[in-house]
Amino acid sequence: MQIGKVYQEAELKLRAQSDSVESSSIEAYCLVSFIINKDKAFLLTYPEFEISQEDYDKIMSLVQRRLDGEPIAYIIGKREFWTLDLKVTPDTLIPRPDTETLVENALVEAQNLIDSGIPQDKLRILDLGTGTGAIALALKYELKDAQIDAVDYSEKACNVAKENSQRLNLPINVINSDWFKELKPQHQYHIIVSNPPYIMEKDPHLAIGDLRYEPKTALVAPMNGFLDIITILRDAGKFLHNNGSLLIEHGYNQGVDVRAYFAKADFSAIETIRDLGNNERVTKGKFIYK
């Protein structure tokens, strides 16, 4: 059976539930490539390439899983983030492009510190709620000599982050902890970053799309989505260097409240950054000892 025709069949089936032909095309290429272990360029160049009945059945099985709503990242077990090919499992959130806004601004803070005279190998960064390790590993990729700790409450998520770290040869220190609980409050970090749970418990988006499959503990927070953000803000000052930076990702409509919580926790130079969709996405602030 020719791979070009198999791809066309997969794309037509996926188009029925896709937002666009482009999306269904990308998903079809992704699933076909995963089974035959060939890249998109090969599929375009050799549409006459013959595959076995077994591979055809595997492809159509994956297409059906996608039609049933399962996220592509969980089906193939990986997702690209910041050019890094990350292992993803149902125990972790699926890394999203919006979170690159958090990485970009953490790198700005890191560069400011380096320019102020702090050597990169003395720079200490903490990623809270690391999941796949996406944020911590992206930062390590750009800051090879920095010391980066990555925390997650889920032991299974920690194992995924460790595997990604080893496979990508980007050494980070992964810690199984409920936020700061297993860390000593020694004002040791120059930068703390986090993409915590921030969705309200009854948010209707939880019942649609990929969110239906992702771990609710990594998505949902009590107090209208703010409990974990407040918890981080309450304790972060104990772990930050003087004038250290905290950056938190949040929902598009939470900026006003998050800025107020930063101020209440005695942070200064508070600022919210918008993502590529022009939505308020990351709030940051400085903590100065009194």
Residue-wise pLDDT tens digits, 96-121: 989 999 999 999 999 999 999 999 99
Task: Please state which CATH class domain 90-287 belongs to.
Answer: alpha beta
In CATH terms, 3-68 corresponds, of 2.40.128.640, 1.10.8.10, 3.30.559.10, 3.30.428.10, to: 1.10.8.10
10 Å CB burial of residue 268 (0-12, 13-18, 19+) is: exposed
Q: What pLDDT score was predicted for residue 16?
A: 81
How do the domains of the chain map onto residue ranges?
3-68, 90-287
Residue-wise pLDDT tens digits, 148-196: 999 999 999 999 999 999 999 999 999 999 999 999 988 899 999 999 9
Task: Name the residue with higher pLDDT: 208 or 253.
Answer: 253
Q: What pLDDT score was predicted for residue 290?
A: 64
**Is 13 within 8 Å of 68 (Cβ atoms)?**
no
User: String of b and e for 20-44 (b: at least 16 CB within 10 Å)?
Assistant: eeeebbbbbbbbbbbbbebeeeebe
| Distance (Å, whole) CA 276 – CA 218 | 23
Backbone angles phi, psi at 17, to 5 degrees: -120, 10
Closest C-alpha to 97, from 273, 283, 276, 218: 276
Q: What is the dihedral of CA 58, 64, 70, 75, to 10 degrees?
A: 10
| Terminal C-alpha separation, the chain | 71
**Is 261 within 8 Å of 229 (Cβ atoms)?**
yes
What pTM, to 2 d.p., does this model score?
A: 0.90
H/E run at residue 142: helix 134-142
Strands, DSSP E only, in the chain?
Answer: 78-81, 84-87, 124-128, 147-152, 173-176, 189-194, 240-249, 267-274, 280-287
Q: Order of strands, edge to edge, in the sheet holding 173-176? A: 173-176, 147-152, 124-128, 189-194, 240-249, 280-287, 267-274
Token output for 150: 């990555």
Closest C-alpha to 290, from 246, 237, 235: 237
